[in-house]
A and B are shown apart, each in its own frame.
Chain A
Amino acid sequence: MSTSSRAVVDLPDRVIRHRVSGEDTIRWSLVAVFAVVLGLFLLYPLSQVLWRSLLGSDGRFIGAANYVRYFSTPAIAASITNSLLVSALSMVVTVTLAFGYAYALTRTFMPARGLLRVTAMLPLFAPSLVQALGLIYVFGNNGLITRTTGFNVGIYGAKGIVLAEVFYCFPHALLILAAALGATDARLYDAARTLGASPLKTFVTVTLPGVKYGLVSACFVVFTLAITDFGAPKAIGGKFSVMATEIYNQVSGQQNFSMGATVSVVLLIPAVLAFVVDRVIQRRQYALVTSSSRPLVPERHPWKDRSFLLYCSLIAGFMVAVYTVILVSSLVQRWPYNFTLTLKHYDFDTAGGYHSLWNSIRVAALTAIVGTALTFVGGYVVEKCRTAASGPLYLLSVLPVSVPGMVLGLAYIFTFNAPGSPLNVLYGTLAILIVSNVIHYFTVGFLTATTALKQMDAEFENVGASLGVPFYRTFWRVTVPIALPSIVAISMYFFLNAMVTLSAVIFIVAPGTELAAVAVLLMDDAGDTAQAAAMSVLIVATGLVVRSLYWLAMRGVTARTQAWAGRTSVTPEETT
């Protein structure tokens, strides 16, 4: 080795390039388009927020003065500690509750697992604001419990925010934890049993280590969701100010855009930090499940199964109760005093009425189409067209998950409502709402796409190339059909989130482009709580209907896929 290595020490770092073909031109154009989209709609707007945080309200550069003011004004600075406090509490409570729930779903023989799994997903269909409204209808000053028992738990403030966030984040944590608990190797448990380990010891030495990355991931996801959420604290926070509501107050209430930008930048820090730590930890993860793994099949333990059923039913029951309260309150004359049935709250005499619901549906549908196409092609560009741009584009693609909706919305005001900018043509259109949704939810779609692409045999494109078939043909005939289940899942994700998002669009809705979730907020603000509830019901109903349609579509896809996906492909044992 030592003698011959001298001969190759002067090998050039450059590789011998291949001639440029027509295919390469197409490949590079795709990379360029993707880079321009991310640059224009993500990087540039964010840089605007940073810049504006350094300007005074008169537009002059004042350096860090805004930050000094932010940290030294107790009334505003409190929003930082408040945010951290409620987010940390929400994280601990949510992940703890969701872990038990996920364990019951994946590792026990508890009855009604399917129903309980679906029920826990309910919060995905409602804006975060809606769970807060539901809690107010039960525990608020005029809530059902408060009125009937005379006992006021004081739901407004930190307590209410945490409870609403737990609701809102529960399905997200549950999905991650159920996936982590579901992916295990039964042989590990067999080994533990043959070695005589007690159930507790097995849990501590096999179960927990197996899901530690899932746990960490769930913690970060919940923390980020909670600290960036705007709807719940806005509705139930009362005087308890968190950073997301502080941005809103500064921008909408006091027209102080610079201070809004300053709070935004500070809010970016914990979100980005959580994201970076999560990425670093995830990188250490290795595949627990290999092709030779055996799935764990839960066994019957009547006593254990029944306890878990009780536990899950309590959580699911509480969720169902809150949504039932919203449904009922939208259907009666005056909650909780007059329970005569009526449909009058569905007339929407204020705040855009049904127009906002149609807008929401249109925006959500277009977000689903544009978002799916962009994330999938983007994922393909980054994963399969290896260029020097792949690394930076990957980073840009995973960045949006740590950009709070409020920050993105404010960034879009600065970018698309700047005097004299040609980008202003987008302002006040549905298009800007679609763009903001696509970017806001970009990361999950993108990661789903790259995961699906990574699972495909890396040699598909090479086989195509060796047979003289251009890459775009292989993309269309092989890649897309195989990834169809993921593509359907991505579009559903975009649709549902676009239906319920509030934070990213609150600043950029304009007369004529009102959205349903914003309408709920405005009606609630205006004291039309029954109408707010009615609109919430319609949003949830739309989500459920679309989800059911997707489910049918997915069944069709699966049936088609079943024909060829009979068995997993051969896994090579050794690669040189």
Chain B
Amino acid sequence: MSTAGGPPPAVALEGVAKKFSEFVALRGISLSIAPGEFICFLGPSGCGKTTLLRIIAGLERQNAGRVSMAGRDVSDLPPALRNYGIVFQSYALFPNLTVGRNVAYGLETRHMDAGTIARRVDELLTLVGLARHRDKYPAQLSGGEQQRVALARALAPAPALLLLDEPLSALDARVRQALRHEIRELQRRLGVTTIMVTHDQEEALAMADRIVVMNAGQVEQVGGPAEVYRQPRTPFVARFVGQMNFLRAVASARGGWARVGSTELRHQPGFEAAPNSAVTLAIRPEEIAVGPSAQEAPNALTARIASVQFLGPFTRLALAMEGDGEALECDVAATAFAALKVGEGAVVPIALAPEALRAFPAVS
């Protein structure tokens, strides 16, 4: 089933579905992952992303569908025969074994001599920067260090695939930031195909080559970080990845326009709806222009500043559109806001740039 020409995908899923008694966790997922890719499964709790990862790992068995790795159907293979390494949310480091023994754990059953194992362990610990902790026990390490031991242990037998189940969620923000970068670097250097499950959209945007956004057991969108952020295919993706303002609107008679209250706005092209049918318009807070310059721009409006929230590099304004009072959130660079010399209660011109104003079928 390899595609004509290039190498077969590292992982291919065809119609994978899973139910737990009456609850359907996955509704037929199909996906192809190229060798060396870093993929994130992103979604809220209960969307099925972890179940999907565990099916790929063979730790959960699907009710329907096929899992292939490098062109080989592995659907009926037990985990031990699938050739992957996995890092769990809890790390699951063996507390009674030293860091070195943990990393060596998967090597010791492979008929390697002690010298080779020792060299491989040192190599991996050096790779994750923990060479001097080899003889410590996991409990003597910090959370971030434990994380890296788990990574080294998973990578020791040189697996073809690395699976990461929310690997950073148990760490504090600063460590998480650093490890994001480290894991990505390591993955690039080793070229190992990686699938990471996360509910943190920022993490997915920062790390992935491609993001698989999941909701209620289905894939909502697959795409690169910029694509998923800029061109969300569904309101769910728009809401889940980044901040988004939604406006209830009615499609106008002329295509490409919609009315919010009494104001007619032009939105992104490519969305058609029957005149007078309900639609939803969406725009990100940083895409709203505020101030005198907005007056001349297309889709210019006026809004009252309901509240001002200082957030360091930028300031978040809660706006109420003049006339119908629809609420909007708007992020303005802190310096730019200072230059406007306005405060709460002020009425300011704003503009919703048509190329940023997305349109979706109405969401309830």
Contacts and interface: CB of A to CB of B under 8 A. Distances in A.
A115 interface: no
Given A477-B97, A481-B96, A565-B139, A7 B80 contact: no
Nearest to B50: A576
A21 B76 CA distance: 11
Contacts of A567: 139-140
B27 A7 contact: yes
Contacts of A421: none
Interface string B22-64: 0010011000000000000001011101100000011101111
B199 A576 contact: yes
B360 interface: no
B364 interface: no
A16 B75 contact: yes
Nearest to A478: B94
A564 interface: yes
Contacts of B64: 11-12, 16
Contact of B106 (A5, A7, A469, A570): A469
Contacts of B93: 569
B197 A576 contact: yes
Contacts of B199: 574, 576
A471 to B, nearest CB: 9
Contacts of B49: 576
A75 interface: no
B96 A468 contact: no
Contacts of B216: 1, 4
Interface stretch (A369-377, A458-466, A491-499): A458-466
B78 interface: yes
A298 interface: no
B197 to A, nearest CB: 7
A478 B96 contact: yes
Interface stretch (B84-92, B244-252, B308-316): B84-92
A454 to B, nearest CB: 14
A511 to B, nearest CB: 48
B80 A21 contact: yes
Contact of B109 (A469, A481, A566, A572): A469
B146 interface: yes
B166 A572 contact: yes
A465 B82 CA distance: 10
Contact of A466 (B43, B50, B85): B85
B95 interface: yes
Contact of B79 (A13, A465, A481, A563): A465
A572 B96 contact: no
B201 interface: no
B157 A468 contact: yes
B78 A572 contact: no
Contacts of B24: 5, 8, 11
B291 to A, nearest CB: 41
A470 interface: yes
A112 interface: no
A467 B91 CA distance: 14
Nearest to B159: A466
B94 A15 contact: no
A573 interface: yes
Contacts of B156: 467
Contacts of A467: 85, 105-106, 109, 153-154, 156-157
B102 to A, nearest CB: 9
Interface in B90-149: 90-97, 105-106, 108-110, 137-140, 143, 146
Contacts of A573: 169-170
B166 A15 contact: no
A137 to B, nearest CB: 50
Contacts of B138: 564, 569
A307 B43 CA distance: 59
Contact of A17 (B47, B61, B163): B61
Interface residues of B, number: 64
Contacts, number: 168
A301 interface: no
A187 interface: no
A8 B58 contact: no
A19 B81 CA distance: 10
Contacts of B153: 463, 467
Interface string A114-139: 00000000000000000000000000
A469 B27 contact: no
Contact of A4 (B139, B197, B218): B218
A4 B215 CA distance: 12
A18 interface: yes
A292 interface: no
B241 interface: no
B80 A564 contact: no
Nearest to B98: A564
Nearest to B107: A467
A201 interface: no
A555 interface: no
A465 B50 contact: no
A408 B300 CA distance: 88
B83 to A, nearest CB: 8
Contacts of A457: 88, 90, 92
A463 B108 CA distance: 14
Contacts of B362: none
A564 B90 contact: no
Contacts of B59: 462, 465
A459 B47 CA distance: 21
B105 A19 contact: no
A272 interface: no
A16 B86 contact: no
A575 B80 CA distance: 24
A576 B137 contact: no
Contact of B170 (A19, A481, A571): A571
B206 interface: no
Nearest to B84: A466
A15 B57 contact: no
A482 interface: yes
B96 A564 contact: yes
A481 B154 CA distance: 22
A14 interface: yes
Interface in B294-346: none
A467 B138 CA distance: 18
Contacts of A462: 57, 59, 79, 86, 88, 92
Interface string B146-183: 10000001101100000100100110000000000000
Contacts of A294: none
Contacts of A466: 57, 79-80, 82, 84-86, 106, 154, 163
Closest 6 CB pairs of A and B: A467-B106, A564-B137, A459-B92, A15-B61, A465-B79, A566-B139
24 contacts: A1-B216, A5-B27, A7-B28, A8-B19, A11-B17, A11-B24, A15-B61, A15-B63, A16-B62, A19-B78, A21-B80, A457-B88, A462-B79, A465-B58, A466-B82, A466-B106, A467-B154, A469-B80, A477-B94, A478-B97, A564-B95, A571-B170, A572-B90, A576-B43
Interface of B: 17-19, 24, 27-28, 43, 45-47, 49-50, 57-59, 61-65, 75-82, 84-86, 88-97, 105-106, 108-110, 137-140, 143, 146, 153-154, 156-157, 163, 166, 169-170, 197, 199, 216, 218
